[in-house]
Amino acid sequence: MKTFDTVPARNTAGKNSEAINWHDGGLVNRTSSIWTHYGKVQEWTRDVTWTVSHQGGRLHNSQSYKIGGDNGRDHWANYEQNVSGWGRFIPMKFIQGFAIDFKQDSTAGHGLFLKNAGIEFEKEDGTILRWGSNDRSRQGDYSTHTVEYKFGSEQSAMAAGNARFYRFICRVSSQGGTGARLSHLTLGNFRLLWDNTGSNNGRWIVPSLRRVNDMHSPDILTK
């Protein structure tokens, strides 16, 4: 019996939208700098490796990963979804942006906060490109916040070369303030924003999860 994976025909808002597992790779440290090519074009430098604790579920689930560090001065760390994870690798021509939830447990100087968020996407020729956000500041509370980014006029260029969404990336920082303390940043509820799928009614049929080496293979619609 054939089964199909389906999602809403469109999703243009991150908060309170349906949880879709676009990539099941866990969040892990990236031990190198990251260059972004769209959005805020810059280098995400890093100088530390902070612990990532899996809280249950995957990145599309609520509060699924917690990053923790004991910080004595300004530091930065980069993170990505594990390359061994399976994904749906949706064409970038449909993707308008993304959203992620985050929560700090400290508002004091050197408390961890989400500095940058972004995505990686890959062209059919194997070229990997990235969209990255502007630098963010530390929140002044302990609430869960949803940050939403849209690609706007850059979307068509990002979709060139049959590019497909690969994975979420981010940079965490303890920049600013004084003192040393153990603090944490929790991430979850990752959402893609998409539209113009041709599925004006009902739901959009999407590829099943597959290995990254099969990213550009004909879309797999059966389990």
CA distance 185 to 57: 17
> What domain range includes position 104?
5-214
How many independent structural domains does the chain possess?
1
24 part of a folded domain: yes
221 part of a folded domain: no
User: What pLDDT does residue 222 have?
Assistant: 44
208 part of a folded domain: yes
118 part of a folded domain: yes
User: What pLDDT does residue 223 have?
Assistant: 39
User: What pLDDT does residue 123 have?
Assistant: 97
139 part of a folded domain: yes
**Model confidence pLDDT, tens digit, residues 140-170:** 999 999 999 999 999 999 999 999 999 999 9
pLDDT classification of 70: cutoffs 50, 70, 90: confident
**Model confidence pLDDT, tens digit, residues 25-57:** 999 999 999 999 999 999 999 999 999 999 999
Give start and end residues of each alpha helix (H) in the chain.
155-159
pLDDT classification of 220: cutoffs 50, 70, 90: low
What is the number of alpha carbons within 13 Å of residue 139 lying toward its C-beta?
Answer: 20
User: Can you list the positions of beta strands (E) in 105-209?
Assistant: 113-122, 128-132, 144-150, 164-173, 181-194, 203-206
pLDDT classification of 185: cutoffs 50, 70, 90: very high
182 part of a folded domain: yes
**Model confidence pLDDT, tens digit, residues 97-129:** 999 999 999 998 889 999 999 999 999 999 999
26 part of a folded domain: yes
55 part of a folded domain: yes
The CATH number assigned to the domain holding 162 equals 2.60.120.260
